[in-house]
Amino acid sequence: MIDYNSYLDDAIAMARAAGDIHLDFFRSSRLNIETKLNDSDVVTIADKESEKLIVSVITEKYPEHGIITEESSPLHEEREWRWIIDPLDGTTNFSQGLPNFCVSIALEHKGEAVVGVVYAPYLGELFHAIKGKGAFFNGKKIICGNKTILSESVVATGMPYDKLDNPDNNLQEICKVAPKVRGIRRLGSAALDLSYVAAGFLDGYWELNLKRWDISAGMLIVKEAGAAVVSIRENRNFSIMAVSRGIEDQLLSLLKIQ
Ligand code: IPD
Ligand code: CA
Ligand code: CA
């Protein structure tokens, strides 16, 4: 049996160091905001500095591992061990001065996440999981919510960056779900949304066209907390629903599956 604890310790140390970088730039005039795909897709200097730090630690300590990270080309992504990094998830929030943002770090072995860390530095929230060992929020074990009635549930979602050009942009699904739930939220960080389902702060979450770095750590955390994770599109990158099992069928029935 491989002991993943030292990898977890490293992932947490990297996440905390990256979080310090986020906080150094947060609400400052030094953000250097640039757009990527379109005006909805932004990157700041904090995304880049956070990534630089994490990649330098991994390449120094684990030169035999691969890395997939949002703001740079992958490094040896075919390797048996690889790290999946979102150096700053929730950049739109971050760039506006809104506190819902985090760093997400996962370690995959043979394509499967075995360690996941999501750290929101401004909120002081750290989620982690090791495959088969449960999920934790600031060191305490968490399990997902146990609601069984959709109208009593609070769920989150997001809209894809190609929302203007692609009609499969989640608007229809939002219109169907919003009247049927207690509340619907757009919190702006996929990694935190998944972690919040894990902790029972949200009862469900779905989103289309996510990338591997948005969800790798969060999906391990939410699965280890006992939630169901379902793919809701075949050919739209990662399109997923993560939900407490008691409302899985009710929420799924409102989301188009392709
Ligand atoms: C984004 C956030 C957002 C989600 C987007 C993601 P980024 O990541 O997770 O909540 O709706 O699809 O791309 O760009 O802030 O790292
Ligand atoms: Ca992201
Ligand atoms: Ca990001």
In this predicted structure, what is the pLDDT of residue 255?
A: 96
Query: What's at 163, amino acid-wise?
Result: K
Please count the CA atoms within 13 angstroms of the CA of 231 that sit on its side-chain side: 7
* The pLDDT value given to residue 2: 83
CA of 214 to the centre of ligand 3 (A): 7
- pLDDT averaged per 10 residues in sequence order, the chain, 258 residues: 93 98 98 91 96 98 98 96 98 98 98 98 98 98 98 97 92 97 98 98 98 98 98 95 98 88
pTM metric for this prediction: 0.98
Rounded alpha-carbon distances, angstroms, from residue 192 to 49, 226, 250? 21, 16, 23
Identify the sign of the CA torsion 51, 52, 56, 57: negative
DSSP single-letter state for residue 2: -
Q: What does each C-alpha distance from 200 to 110, 121, 144, 243 come to in angstroms?
A: 30, 20, 5, 10
DSSP 98: -
CA 188 – ligand 1 centroid, Å: 6
User: Which of the listed residues 54, 70, 104, 189 should we mutate to test ligand 1's pocket, taking the one with most ligand atoms within 8 A of CB?
Assistant: 189
Residue whose CA is closest, atom 13 of ligand 1?
210
Predicted pLDDT at 82? 98
pLDDT, position 256: 74
Which protein residues are within 6 Å of ligand 1, measured from CB?
86, 89-92, 158, 160, 188-190, 207, 210, 214
